Structure 1
């Protein structure tokens, strides 16, 4: 398990990361989400030792992390860091060797990865000759070529088509199944919601919420949608009902309790037909907007 404990990073007078604390458990996929400038990339760079924290620590397996530990990690930066004029197979083997793989082992793993990403016929091509999406595939292969014990991925799904996303998801699941912790950031909240075992939400350099999607949903406002046969504006006069929005026959309501639900239903039925009165399940985008506002 990886632990982030009170990490803080200043750039001059700018406090980019402010006492960030969270854990990435073994075998779990942890989504790291936040807006531009929230501090996600800076935090990931401190985890990997690319940046030194102003204060705070990173732990691995319950002790302070070492350079040797980080050599066993796989890292995918948001900015592509491979060599544009080198053949993709050659540089993957080179990177595998740097992480302790044998030449034969690194080559076989690289061939397997390129094949599963649809690049098996392009092993000798230079990176710069590939599309941006295919370059992203090679970058992903570079992150896992060393059979890492921990994965840190900054926007790994950027530029990938749906088929490549599915291949990437399968690859990550293989790693978590064997106990590898995975931390990844993404602005694609639909993917984060589908994939992650837990979330860490960052805003203005601070952790504003952590937990599973279900846990984050349970902490937010409970809203109900009412759909009636006529105009629903009459709900504004009901006690125990906070009207979030009314649009013709549809109203979005925050109810104080079961009694308020019964009151709304009785009043609606007395006025005509009722098509719907149901709890609204918020999307991750809704939750994100609420906790970061």
Structure 2
């Protein structure tokens, strides 16, 4: 378990991160989302000790995190930190050795990961000769060497093609199945919704929402879709409801008063055929827009 408690960071008069708290449970993927300047990268840098903490603390396994703990983490920064004029195999093996692997084991693990990410034929290429997407693949490999105790990844999917995204997803799922906590930021909300067990939303340096995707989708004002055999215009006159959309026999309503949905169903059945009455849960993109508005 990785815990972030009341983290705060100021740059002069600007408070970039303002008493942010959340947890990254073991064996789960936690998505970290927010607009540009929301404080995601600053928070991750404090977690990794790259930036100092003005207030708050980071806990690992229930105790204050140490420099040695952080050395066991896999970290992918927003900016690439590899050497452009060195062969990718050599520098990845070097990084793995710095993290404690013997040279033979390091070379074996690096070679396996390069193959996995479609770079098995490019091992002698200098990083600068690769496309930006392939450079991102190399940066990902560097962040997971050797097998990490936790992963903190800043925009790991940026610039990746669909095949590389699938490879990355498979790798992350292998880690979480082994109990490794994963925190990653992304602007790709559809991907976050598909992958993540939990979600943390930042806006203007503050945490504005957190929880599982299901919890967040269920937390708002309930919405229902009603499909009738006849015209649904009468729904506009029902108390305790707000009609969001009305088209012939279909109405989308928001419940503003407890029990209004039950009265709506009773009225609908008394008037004729009811083909459908179902709760409509918002997409993650809609939750995000509402939380950050």
CA-CA distance at 1:2 after TM superposition:
1.4
1:262–1:71: structure 2 CA closer, same or farther, 3 Å change rule? closer
Distance 2:248 2:85 in 1: 60
Q: Which moved further from structure 2: 34-43 or 256-265?
A: 256-265
Q: Residue 115 of structure 2 aligns with which residue?
A: 115
Q: Residue 135 of structure 1 aligns with which residue?
A: 135
Q: Summarize deviations over 1:258-277 as a string: whole Å, max 9, x none.
A: 85335434655677765543
Q: Residue 89 of structure 1 aligns with which residue?
A: 89
Contact 2:48–2:70 (8 Å) recurs in 1: yes
Alignment of 1:160-175 (within 5 A): 160-175=160-175
1:292–1:247: structure 2 CA closer, same or farther, 3 Å change rule? farther
Q: Residue 79 of structure 1 aligns with which residue?
A: 79
**Paired residue secondary structure (1:83):** coil
Q: Residue 202 of structure 1 aligns with which residue?
A: 202
User: Taking structure 1 as the reference length, what is the TM-score of the superposition?
Assistant: 0.92
Contact 2:218–2:281 (8 Å) recurs in 1: no
Distance 1:27 1:265 in 2: 42
Q: What CA RMSD, in Å, does the superposition of the two structures yield over aligned residues?
A: 2.1
Q: Which moved further from structure 2: 264-273 or 126-135?
A: 264-273
1:148–1:280: structure 2 CA closer, same or farther, 3 Å change rule? same
Q: Residue 40 of structure 2 aligns with which residue?
A: 40
User: Taking structure 2 as the reference length, what is the TM-score of the superposition?
Assistant: 0.92
CA-CA distance at 1:36 after TM superposition:
1.4
Q: Summarize deviations over 1:209-243 as a string: whole Å, max 9, x none.
A: 22111111221111012345676444222222222
Distance 2:290 2:123 in 1: 46
Contact 2:26–2:180 (8 Å) recurs in 1: yes
Alignment of 1:249-268 (within 5 A): 250-256=250-256, 260-265=260-265
Distance 2:276 2:37 in 1: 41
Contact 2:114–2:120 (8 Å) recurs in 1: yes
**Paired residue secondary structure (2:239):** coil
Distance 1:180 1:102 in 2: 23
In structure 2, the gaps of 5 or more residues are: none
Distance 2:113 2:207 in 1: 35
Q: Summarize deviations over 1:51-97 as a string: whole Å, max 9, x none.
A: 11111111212221111111111111122221111111011011111
Alignment of 1:1-293 (within 5 A): 1-228=1-228, 232-247=232-247, 250-256=250-256, 260-265=260-265, 275-293=275-293
